Amino acid sequence: MDGRDYLAETARELRRYRDLAERAIAQVPPDRWFVEPAPGSNSLAVVVKHVAGNLRSRWTDFLTTDGEKPDRDRDGEFEVRAADDAGSLRAAWDAGWETLFATLDGLRGEDVDRRVRIRGEEMSALQAIQRSLAHSAMHVGQIVYAAKMLAGERWVTLSIPRGGSKAFNQAPEAYVPRPGKASARGRRAR
């Protein structure tokens, strides 16, 4: 796999993670985004703010400036403020992902070998990209888990439902998950 193939695959995987998070968030009414699923845990609003802030910071001027921008308020990402509402969170989320994809899509294969910095630590661009991929995947998992708890009985599975593996393996083409709807087999996750 050359650098171009790696970048294309990474972009594909990150788009998949974004879609997964958005399908989970769509199942939770906006007023519930601010509920902590368990005492001391992060609400969906907080995780969305953090992912948005991280993506904006890491991917703005990715090859030329430190990934931890001086204007980033990382600690503030973990606080719900009066100005935070579904619209502002969504705008920040979209801006973060758009910054990531615009930068990632503009990289050339040879850029993966360039040196970049995050919080003063030097690494290859490839290492920084892998770090961002892993960080995003971890938080998307948190978003899905929290959304499932917050949606409760309304939750519709985003993948193969429990007990559905055998049927999926026999006819994977019949399985088409859709946001806000049950799978082709109409099963709900437990």
Does residue 102 share a domain with residue 118? Answer: yes
Region of residue 43 (phi > 0: left; psi between -120 and 50: alpha; otherwise: beta): beta
Residues 123 and 187 grouped into a single domain:
no
How many structural domains does the chain have?
Answer: 2
CATH code at 27?
1.20.120.450
Tens-digit pLDDT profile for residues 71-117: 999 999 999 999 999 999 999 999 999 999 999 999 999 999 999 99
Write out the residue range of the structural domain in which residue 174 sits. 160-190
Asked if 98 and 74 sit in the same domain, the reply is: yes
Average pLDDT of the chain, as a whole number: 91
| pLDDT given at position 160 | 85
Claim to verify: residue 102 and residue 129 sit in the same structural domain: yes
Residue 117 shares a structural domain with residue 185:
no
pLDDT, tens only, 57-71: 999 999 999 999 999
Query: Closest Cα to residue 13, out of 158, 169, 99, 132?
Result: 132
The verdict on 70 and 10 lying in the same domain is: yes
Q: Are residues 124 and 185 in the same domain?
A: no
**What pLDDT is recorded for position 42?**
95
Specify whether 62 is located in the same domain as 121.
Answer: yes
Looking at residue 173, what is its pLDDT? 79
d(CA 116, CA 66): 7
HEC sequence for the chain: CCHHHHHHHHHHHHHHHHHHHHHHHCCCCHHHHHCCCCCCCCCHHHHHHHHHHHHHHHHCCCCCCCCCCCCCCCHHHHCCCCCCCHHHHHHHHHHHHHHHHHHHHHCCHHHHHCEEEECCEEEEHHHHHHHHHHHHHHHHHHHHHHHHHHHHHHCCCCCCCCCCHHHHHHCHHHCCCCCCCCCCCCCCCC
